[in-house]
Amino acid sequence: MSIVVKKWNELAEVKAELAARDWFFATSGNLSIKVTDDPLTFLVTASGKDKRKQTDEDFLLVDAAGRPAEKTHLKPSAETLLHVEIYNRTNAGCVLHVHTVDNNLISELYAQNGEAVFSGQEIIKAFGIWEENAAVRIPIIDNYADIPTLAREFANYIHGDAGAVLIQNHGITVWGRTAFEAKKHLEAWEFLFRWQVKRLLLQRAGLPVG
């Protein structure tokens, strides 16, 4: 089995799991997985596809600039440049971007703070943080319509081989050293977002929550 086929299958499995969670509304979201380091190539979701379905045209191979590395009629996802910034700056092996109602609400609620902060939740251990009452922070950046501008702003928040950024009303982008790590972190962030949204609703209803 070639490395491209192996990585295709790995990314397809992740896509299927996220689709089962209904995290691909309309044709939103984009995913990628690194194939080679030198030269840098990665598989990325093709633009305009229904990611809840699996086809032979779900992904295409692109180079370090996000351009197709092979002859194809497919177009890379519009936000491939964000993936390019991550792969060129880190040793990440997988990048996942999804739009959910909860992550959009969190990005709207805390945009003026420039970040959202969560603490006291056991799920934080998914990030490799084991301190008691640990806190995690996720930056929130403006949603620039111009993708090169968005990518430049996004690049300011890439600080390691694993990380995450919220784009206001435009979803979360998570990356990790492996597809497993990226998916684990994405699931942990989405848990925190959903918990916080429900917590705020319960507080508004006057129920005794922390």
The pLDDT value given to residue 176: 98
In the chain, % of residues over pLDDT 90: 91
Section 185-191 average pLDDT: 98
pLDDT, tens digit (0-9, with 9 covering 90-100), for 108-162: 999 999 999 999 899 999 999 988 889 999 999 999 999 999 999 999 999 999 9
Q: Is the pLDDT of residue 168 over 80?
A: yes
pLDDT, tens digit (0-9, with 9 covering 90-100), for 61-85: 999 999 999 999 999 998 999 999 9
Q: Is the pLDDT of residue 204 over 90?
A: no
- Does 209 reside within a domain? no
Section 171-196 average pLDDT: 98
- Does 148 reside within a domain? yes
Q: Is the pLDDT of residue 184 over 90?
A: yes
**What's the domain range around 12?**
3-204
Burial group, residue 7, by CB count within 10 angstroms (0-12, 13-18, 19+): buried
The pLDDT value given to residue 210: 63
- Does 81 reside within a domain? yes
Q: Is the pLDDT of residue 209 over 90?
A: no
116 vs 206: which has the higher pLDDT: 116
Q: Report the distance separating Cα 201 and Cα 82, nearest Å.
A: 33
**pLDDT-based confidence at 208, cuts 50/70/90?**
confident
Dihedral (CA of 155, 161, 163, 169) sign:
positive
Q: Report the distance separating Cα 127 and Cα 142, nearest Å.
A: 25
93-118 burial by CB neighbour count: b if 16+ within 10 A, else e? Answer: bbbbbbbbebbbbbbeebbeeeebeb
Token pair 């180079």 in the structure block, residue: 63
- Does 210 reside within a domain? no
Q: Report the distance separating Cα 52 and Cα 131, nearest Å.
A: 37
- Does 100 reside within a domain? yes
Query: How many angstroms separate the Cα of 188 from the Cα of each of 61, 158, 165, 191?
Result: 28, 19, 13, 5
Query: How many angstroms separate the Cα of 8 from the Cα of each of 5, 55, 144, 167?
Result: 5, 11, 30, 27
How many domains are contained in the chain?
Answer: 1
- Does 49 reside within a domain? yes
Query: How many angstroms separate the Cα of 148 from the Cα of each of 19, 84, 162?
Result: 28, 11, 22
Residue 49: give its domain's CATH number: 3.40.225.10
The pLDDT value given to residue 106: 98
Q: Is the pLDDT of residue 38 over 90?
A: yes
